[in-house]
């Protein structure tokens, strides 16, 4: 039997069960609002969002590997591209561009052109310094930790 070809983000996204995007966005907003109420300090909310994302990422990687059929990435640049084009498409329905590589090729930015988490969001002035989408950083960090060797 021939090995399965890696699936593109679009192919995987077409076969994944989806939740209504507005419901997802509003639910996430409610979680952030509750964290702001409970924790009061923006920096603590940022830490909590990152930790929540990390916990999601360490579990989400199994589903990603099972459904995407991607093979082991050979380097960090390929890993970043797979996250940007397959992982984000699979779970958020969007892709990202990989930019701002450092000289050593060990650091980059994933830039989302369309972030579904920020639909319907208006932050008050009291939320200066809030990394509203910090959960995404945590998800990526958690998933990468689980597959690093």
Give tens-digit pLDDT for 78-123.
999 999 999 888 888 889 999 999 999 999 999 998 888 888 888 8
Q: What is the pLDDT of residue 7?
A: 54
- The CATH architecture assigned to 9-148 reads 2-Layer Sandwich (3.30)
Give me the residue label for tokens 């509203």.
Answer: 132
Give tens-digit pLDDT for 16-71.
565 577 788 888 999 999 999 999 899 999 999 999 999 999 999 998 888 888 88
Q: What is the pLDDT of residue 148?
A: 79
Q: What is the pLDDT of residue 3?
A: 44
Domain boundaries, given as residue ranges, for the chain: 9-148
Q: pLDDT-derived band of residue 1, with 50, 70 and 90 as boundaries?
A: very low
């Amino acid at each position: 039997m021939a090995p399965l070809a890696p699936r593109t983000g679009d192919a995987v996204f077409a076969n994944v069960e989806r939740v209504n995007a507005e419901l997802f966005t509003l639910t996430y907003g409610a979680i952030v609002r509750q964290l702001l109420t409970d924790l009061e300090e923006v920096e603590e909310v940022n830490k909590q969002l990152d930790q929540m994302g990390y916990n999601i990422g360490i579990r989400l990687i199994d589903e990603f590997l099972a459904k995407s059929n991607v093979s082991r990435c050979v380097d960090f640049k390929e890993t970043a591209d797979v996250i940007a084009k397959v992982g984000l498409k699979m779970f958020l329905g969007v892709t990202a561009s990989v930019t701002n590589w450092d000289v050593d090729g060990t650091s980059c930015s994933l830039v989302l052109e369309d972030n579904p988490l920020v639909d319907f969001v208006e932050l008050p002035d009291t939320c200066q310094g809030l990394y509203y989408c910090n959960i995404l950083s945590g998800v990526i960090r958690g998933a990468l930790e689980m597959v690093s060797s």
